[in-house]
Amino acid sequence: MPRLPALSPEEAKTVQKDLGIYTDNMDGTLPNSVLTLARRPNILRAVTDLWYQTIIAPGVVSKDLKWLAAHVVSVSAGCQYCAAHTGENTVISDMPAEKVQVVWEYETSPLFSDAERIVLRIAQSVAQVPNAVTDEDFEELRQHWDDDQVVEIIAAISTFGFFNRWNDTLATELESSPLQFAKDNLSDAGWDVGKHAAD
């Protein structure tokens, strides 16, 4: 049960422009996390500008890899809500579902390139407390990605420090589309809706 109720889409109509960005980029799903942020339109706009307009928007790193890295950091941080959304959004962004399903085999699976492996290793290590990224990891990252790409990768991963804490703290209720995606594609890896279930 959510600890703070989300606004209804009608109650959030003053931020309709900001909400459209989410439905356009998330296969029509309007996340409850966004409807909770909509209580403070200035915070919603800041988050929207940072994540959707700047980091996830087309850049120097593919959108699907940024979503997959966000998925790995979310699972590693224990946020089931974000794990479901990021997994689904990875596939919406044109990465095959099979890669999301076997993401925890990234070190050995032939589905992943060395460039992807190091991004996912960094994402997994970032979620640890204390941060487990090593100098060697970062050196390997820079062997595959230039400095501009590294900034975009680390920004995509780090932003989920906010989203994971936000949704896990508020026990945000998971919507039907990402819930079904997670049941179909993430359950074998241990995903469970937990506190994000509907009442």
Lowest mean pLDDT among 15-29, 53-67, 99-113: 15-29
Q: What is the pTM of this model?
A: 0.94
pLDDT tens column, 10-26: 888 777 776 777 766 66
125 — pLDDT class (breaks 50, 70, 90): very high
Nearest partner of 169 among 80, 71, 96, judged by Cα? 80
What long-range pairs does 145-149 form, CB within 8 A, spacing at least 24? 145/61, 145/115, 145/119, 146/60, 148/60, 149/60, 149/61
Q: Cβ–Cβ contacts within 10 Å for residue 107, how many? A: 10
Show me where the domains of the chain are located: 61-189
Fold of 61-189: AhpD-like (1.20.1290)
